[in-house]
Amino acid sequence: MNTNGNNNTKGEAPLEPKNLNDAKIELMSGAEAAASVEAYAGSAATGEVAPDVKKLTRADFVSGQEVRWCPGCGDYSILNNVQKVMPELGIPREKVVFISGIGCSSRFPYYMNTFGFHTIHGRAPGFATGVKTANPDLSVWVVTGDGDALSIGGNHFMHVIRRNLDINYLLFNNRIYGLTKGQYSPTSEQGKRTKSSPMGVVDFPINPVSLAVASEATFVARSLDIDVKHLSHTIEAAARHKGTSFVEIYQNCNIFNDGAFQYFTDRAIRSDNMLYLEHGKPLVFGKNSDKGIRIVGSQPEVIELNATTNLTADDCHTHDIHSPDSSLAFILGRMEQPRFPQPVGIFRQVERDTYEEQVAAQIEDAIEKQGRGRLAKLINSGDTWTVGEGDAVGGFMPAASGDNTETVTGSSPD
């Protein structure tokens, strides 16, 4: 059931209700909540005006669970921002599901006063696929970390993105395995010494944004835990996108990888070492907005904007998140410190049919052409054979009158 009268699971402006107040149902508890939703459904059926309900606030999305992250962990900032954004989407809590795998970030569903699943390592996208396909009116969120998503869950990460399932995918990247006490992760930089790489990491790190773009993601963004305003804006933009919304969040693990991003996120140097992407605006950065990015062929380059070079913002690349060509987003995603400023913001946002919509259309088309199927008929269709005690080679023989046999269904033996 959709309590606001449409399929608004990603926060689009709701349709104007017919003789009904805008239904932003606040959950109370148990039977009370169910009664509230049913009362609204009943009034919709009779044309009556539903009673006014209080607008949801951040507090409505805070569960009673004790938050068990280390003091100072960046996860607190992300949780707080998600809880602040949720009421702005106008989606009732009973229509929201948070799904996680394994890791520090994966405790997230416990702290959201919504439905949730704490699943198994790397498999959250698989669970999300089932939930969203079976219940397309739900707002589904996957919360994961760099180890959970990109190591054991790398295959699931790629496929849920290319399918364009209408979910929100938040990846907390701290470049370390925190829950298991400090081993290197798929995003750890080369040379990093950890408990599992005492002489330094030799693996080349995965770039999550590059992988998402290469997997044909329709929404790709990046933010950081300490920039609260930017993080809130990015999460809300992701929630309002129709399709898989992937957001990489730089998150500091102050116990096992403290200061991992400080070389470009520190407030004193941030403006010179970071590039904030804005749609329709030139790629300009620097404390005095005196630097920019232009793209020559397929290569980005940093340019100085001043009278000496005779270059201005007009010479910089203008960011276009809606470009159908994903190569530009890929180029920007590959820019990293110290050669380039570290880009954050929305890299790409395009439209494409979603997975669950296409599955639903196939089912409707099959029913229209063939009618509703029957499971018993399906099970007993195709080749059948009889199994008995004196079977021929391979365990199969024709049925004989009077034999103590049982007919089973399956594919014929080779």
* Closest of 145, 135, 206, 144 to residue 165, by C-alpha: 135
**Does a structural domain hold residue 50?**
no
pLDDT for the residue 414: 43
- The bridge status of strand 219-224 relative to strand 342-349 is antiparallel
Are 394 and 261 contained in the same domain? no
- Domain holding 341, by residue range, is 58-275+321-356
Residues 87 and 203 in one domain: yes
Specify if 351 maps to a domain: yes
Q: Is residue 295 part of a domain?
A: yes
Q: pLDDT at position 397, please?
A: 55
* 136 neighbors 173 (Cβ within 8 angstroms): no
pLDDT tens for the chain, 414 residues: list them.
333 334 445 554 443 333 323 333 333 444 444 444 454 444 444 555 555 557 999 999 999 999 999 999 999 999 999 999 999 999 999 999 999 999 999 999 999 999 999 999 999 999 999 999 999 999 999 999 999 999 999 999 999 999 999 999 999 999 999 998 889 899 989 989 999 999 999 999 999 999 999 999 999 999 999 999 999 999 999 999 999 999 999 999 999 999 999 999 999 999 999 999 999 999 999 999 999 999 999 999 999 999 999 999 999 999 999 999 999 999 999 999 999 999 999 999 999 999 999 999 999 999 999 999 888 888 888 877 777 765 555 555 555 444 444 444 444 434
In order of 132, 163, 167, 207, 392, the CA distances from 355 in angstroms are 9, 6, 10, 25, 46
In a domain, 291, yes or no: yes
**Looking at the structure, do residues 348 and 290 belong to the same domain, yes or no?**
no
Q: Do 74 and 138 have their domain in common? A: yes
How do 274-276 and 342-349 pair as beta strands?
A: parallel
Query: What does residue 108 show for φ and ψ, rounded to 5 degrees?
Result: -50, -45
Does 310 lie in the same domain as 219?
no
Shared domain check, 412 and 307: no
Comparing C-alpha atoms, which of 91, 161, 25, 133 is closest to residue 362? Answer: 133
| Per-residue pLDDT, 373 | 87
Give the total number of structural domains in the chain. 3
- Write down the pLDDT at residue 47: 54
Residue 10 falls inside a structural domain? no
As a whole number of Å, the CA-based R_g of the chain is 26
CATH number of the structural domain spanning residue 175: 3.40.50.970
The model carries a pTM of 0.80
Within this chain, do residues 309 and 392 fall inside the same structural domain, yes or no?
no
| Residues 258 and 308 reside in one and the same domain | no
Residues 229, 127, single domain; the answer is yes
Note whether 189 and 304 are same-domain residues. no
DSSP result, 331-398: HHHH--TTTS-EEEEEEEE-----HHHHHHHHHHHHHHHH-S--HHHHHT-S-EEEE-TT--TTS-B-
Residue 6 covered by a domain = no
* Beta carbons of 283 and 292 less than 8 angstroms apart: yes
Write out the H or E segment, with its range, that includes residue 110: helix 108-111
- Contact, 355 vs 375, CB < 8 A? no
Instruction: Answer yes or no: is 100 within a domain.
Output: yes
Together in a domain, 307 and 392: no
In a domain, 91, yes or no: yes
Cα separation of 206 and 191, whole Å? 14
**200 in helix, strand or coil?**
coil
210 and 303 assigned to the same domain: no
